[in-house]
Structure 1
Amino acid sequence: MQMKGAIQIIEWQDLDLKKFYSLGVFMTLTTRVTVYPASVIRTRLQVQKGKALYSGTFDAFFKIMRAEGVSGLYRGFMVNTLTLISGQAYITTYELVRNYVSRYSQSNTVKSVVAGGSASLVAQTITVPIDVVSQHMMMQGPHGEHMARFKARPRPMLNGSKRRITFGQSRDITVQIFAADGFRGFYRGYVASLLTYIPNSALWWPFYHCYAEQLSLLAPSGCPHLLLQAVAGPMAAATASTITNPMDVVRARVQVEGRTSVIETFKQLMAEEGARGLTKGLSARIIYSTPTSLLIVVGYETLKRLSLRADLVENRHW
């Protein structure tokens, strides 16, 4: 019997999938439009050497606005919208794996950890090539100059001279990455991404459910569950982001600078900037992840309510 006030979780078998997917694409796109500028700022902070360009999150925001305008905060956005595919893959994998694990364990923590990690594995396999291209576009200055070193082998031109790697539009970036490193160039940082996002996802879901349940015990009777979940989401995001930020810094450098070794990148970061280097972009990441989580939680939980099978609507209390 469910405890009074306990958060009710809508499971995969409770959903009308046609509504779920059609509304899900709109929700995901709206979320990305809202939080993308923070992703641009986070990437630039993580990749810069020391404080060569920006002294912090707000300094980066104002300098980008002055030098590049609003468009500077949306560099690479059109390419990044392709991650809508990975977003749907993430949701589907999470719900299916959670449903499968429930056959063997009723522990919400176990289901959340396994499903969250599995969903991230699938999503990152799709997302990494898109991220590699969009992150290079994020690093473009107002005149198209690249704001970080991209170490790649230059391709000989027909006259025998060497062509310097420069970055323009998404097509130029795609062609030059392939020319320099082949198909594997699009999976630069794949291992680093998995080491960042699988733990992040595996941590976020159990923290989210834990915080939501604890808040439900503290909240007055009749408090809307969606409000409690809206608070729990950002709390879980801040927790997971803080724990996994060091790996996220390494991931960004591997992908943007064209490095091949996670370990060597980590060693160089520590040698150049010490332990403080592992906290780079943390405030921007929290600023990015907490409203993202708020929007995702409100959007996702609302989406699930709207997608609830008709025969279950009258049986659920929120």
Structure 2
Amino acid sequence: MEDKRNIQIIEWEHLDKKKFYVFGVAMTMMIRVSVYPFTLIRTRLQVQKGKSLYHGTFDAFIKILRADGVSGLYRGFLVNTFTLISGQCYVTTYELTRKFVSDYSQSNTVKSLVAGGSASLVAQSITVPIDVVSQHLMMQRKGEKMGRFQVHGNPEGQGVIAFGQTKDIIRQILRADGLRGFYRGYVASLLTYIPNSAVWWPFYHFYAG
């Protein structure tokens, strides 16, 4: 029986880089827009005390819509979009590292393992600080304080504009924790993503071959 597993591997030098980056960012952005409200809801459900605010996903969805409108489901979204950079940096680091390692080893396993781990290290170094800020923004709501920090509204009671909120949160994190505050959970993220990426890519090339 003919083995149909063979998949053509497109190497980095064969890619149209302009199309790759443009379409990659556009596709990721579309996915992010559709799933972000549920990321926000999940974060709030995980942080709340018991069922003090929401009784579940649907209840949270309705209450956030009633209190803040559609924009309430996208708190921190503009900041979170900067993590799109990390996705592109991940792929670029992976491919360039594979190319570099190929000068020392032709083993696909070695190249993929080193490149996968390096790519995750770079990506998480960019992603974690952005996630820390965006998650604090997700916790902002009218009424009861949910997170460690709370954005201060203006005297008229209107919320601060998006990047005004971001600057406010950044200042509070710096005041409370210094630069280390932007890397809360960094080591845990590295221990999660580096082994996962380092193991996944060798298996990908093994089964594609």
1:122 Cα deviation after fit: 0.4
Shift of the 200–48 alpha-carbon distance from structure 1 to 2, 3 Å rule, reads farther
Aligned residue for 1:192? Answer: 188
Greater shift after overlay, 35-44 or 57-66? Answer: 57-66
Give me the TM-score of the superposition, normalised by structure 2: 0.75
Aligned equivalents of 2:43, 2:186: Cα separation in 1: 16
Does residue 167 of the first structure (1) align with residue 163 of the second (2)? no
Q: 2: CA distance between counterparts of 1:196 and 1:50?
A: 27
Aligned to 1:30: 30
* Other structure's SS at 1:197 match: helix
Aligned AA for 2:25? Answer: V
**Native 8 Å contact 1:98 1:115 kept in 2:** yes
Cα offsets for 1:278-297 (capped at 9, x unmatched): xxxxxxxxxxxxxxxxxxxx
Aligned to 2:85: 85
Query: How many aligned positions are there?
Result: 193
Tell me how far 1:132 sits from its aligned partner.
1.2
Letter of the 1:178 partner, please give it.
L
Which has the higher mean CA deviation after the structures are superposed, 94-103 or 84-93? 94-103
Kindly provide the amino acid, as one letter, of the partner of residue 117 in structure 1.
Answer: G
Which amino acid is 2:39 matched to?
A: S
1:145 Cα deviation from its structure 2 partner? 4.8
Identify unmatched segments of 5+ residues in structure 2.
153-164
**Distance change (3 Å), C-alpha of 1:94 and 1:62:** farther
Q: 2-side partners of 1:206 and 1:68: how far apart?
A: 46
- How far residue 120 of structure 1 moved from its aligned partner, in angstroms, is 1.5
Name the % identity.
Answer: 70
Q: Note closer, same or farther for the CA distance 1:39–1:200 as it changes in structure 2 (3 Å cut).
A: farther
Give the 5 Å matches for 1:77-226.
Answer: 77-101=77-101, 103-107=105-109, 111-141=111-141, 143=142, 145-148=144-147, 150=148, 166-168=150-152, 169-202=165-198, 205=201, 209=204
Alignment TM-score, normalising by the size of structure 1? 0.52
One-letter amino acid of the counterpart of residue 177, structure 2: D
Structure 1 gap segments, 5+ residues each: 151-164, 214-318
Q: Label 1:199 to 1:70 Cα distance change in 2 as closer, same or farther (>3 A).
A: farther
Mapped partners of 2:70, 2:199: distance in 1: 33
Q: Please report the RMSD computed on the Cα atoms of aligned residues, expressed in angstroms.
A: 3.0
Measure, in 2, the Cα distance between the counterparts of 1:34 and 1:202: 29
Are the aligned partners of 2:140 and 2:150 in contact in 1 as well (CA < 8 Å)?
no
Question: Do the aligned residues in 1 keep the contact of 2:108 with 2:202 (CA within 8 Å)?
Answer: no
Deviation digits for residues 220-263 of structure 1 (CA, Å, limit 9, x no counterpart): xxxxxxxxxxxxxxxxxxxxxxxxxxxxxxxxxxxxxxxxxxxx
1 CA distance for matches of 2:199 and 2:42?
21
